[in-house]
Amino acid sequence: MAGGEWFEDEKFWAAYASTMFDEERWAEVPEIVDRIERLARLCPGQAVLDTCCGPGRHSIELASRGYRVTGVDISEGYLEAARASAEGLPNVRFIRADIRKFEEREAFDLALNLFTSFGYFADPEDDLEALRRIHASLKSGGKLVLETQGKETTVREFVEGESFERAGCRVRTEYSVVGHWEGLRERWILDREGSPEADFSFVLRLYSAVEMRASLLQAGFEKADIFGDLDGSPYDQKAKSLVAFAIA
C-alpha cells in the first residue's frame, strides 16, 4: 500500500482471512477465553478492550459471557464481519482505529492483544506508544494480557519455511532473521487450486521476556509478569508463546 504500512492494506486481510480464521481457529476460542478469565480473574460485567480484534472471535465470546466489550481493529472488512457475527449482542461494539492512536481514558478493566498481533510497526517507538495508549485506557489496577511470539521460542523453533493446507488453500511460508534477532521476516504465499493468489512479506519485531517486561514498565504499568501460555505456566524451555500479564 503506497504511503502506508502493510497491515493497512485491506487486500492482505481479505486474502488470508480464510486461512487465519478457519473453523479450527474459531473452535479454540472458548478454551482461550476460559484461560483468560482464570488468569485475569475476571468478573462478568467488567469492561474489556480487545485490541487488534480481527473478525471478533474473542470479543464475541466475551460478550456472550456477560462482559462489556470494545473491539478495535484497523481492518474495516474484519470489523464488518465481526459486527455481523455479533448481531443481537447488546454489550459489544467494534471501532476502526489504529492502536497507536486509540484511547478511552480509564474505561476498561482488562485489555487484550492476542494471536501475535503486536510488533509489526516499522518504528519500535510505535510499539511503546501502543502500550502507553492501552495503559491509559485501563482503570487503576486494570490488567493487560498480551500474547505474542517470544524471541526465545522463535529461536528454539526456527525453520526457514514450511508448507501446509488450510481452508482449501496451500500456504507456503519463508522465514529469515532480521539483524541480531531483532525481528523475523515472514513471507506468506497463498495458492488456491494451483494458482498463486497472494504473496505478502512483513517483519515481526521479536521481544525477549526481559525486553517485553521492560517495555511494559516503561509504558507505565506498575507490574509485569511473563508466562509461557495463557494458563499462567512459566516462561521456560517448555513455553508455547510469550504471554505478558501487566497491571496498570
Number of other residues whose CB lies within 10 A of the CB of residue 162: 10
- CA 73 centroid distance within chain: 10
Handedness of CA 15, 4, 211, 34 (dihedral sign): negative
Show me where the domains of the chain are located. Answer: 6-150+208-247, 153-203
pLDDT of residue 166: 86
Q: List the grid coordinates of 141.
A: 489496577
For residue range 167-208, list pLDDT tens digits in order. Answer: 888 999 999 999 999 999 999 999 987 667 899 999 999 999
CATH code of the domain made up of 6-150+208-247 = 3.40.50.150
Q: Which long-range contacts (CB under 8 A, 24 or more apart) does 167-171 make?
A: 167/18, 167/19, 167/22, 168/18, 168/192, 169/18, 169/19, 169/197, 171/19
Do residues 163 and 130 make contact, with C-beta atoms less than 8 angstroms apart?
no
Min mean pLDDT across 85-89, 192-196, 239-243 is at: 192-196
pTM above 0.75, yes or no: yes
Instruction: Give me the mean pLDDT over the 65-70 stretch.
Output: 98
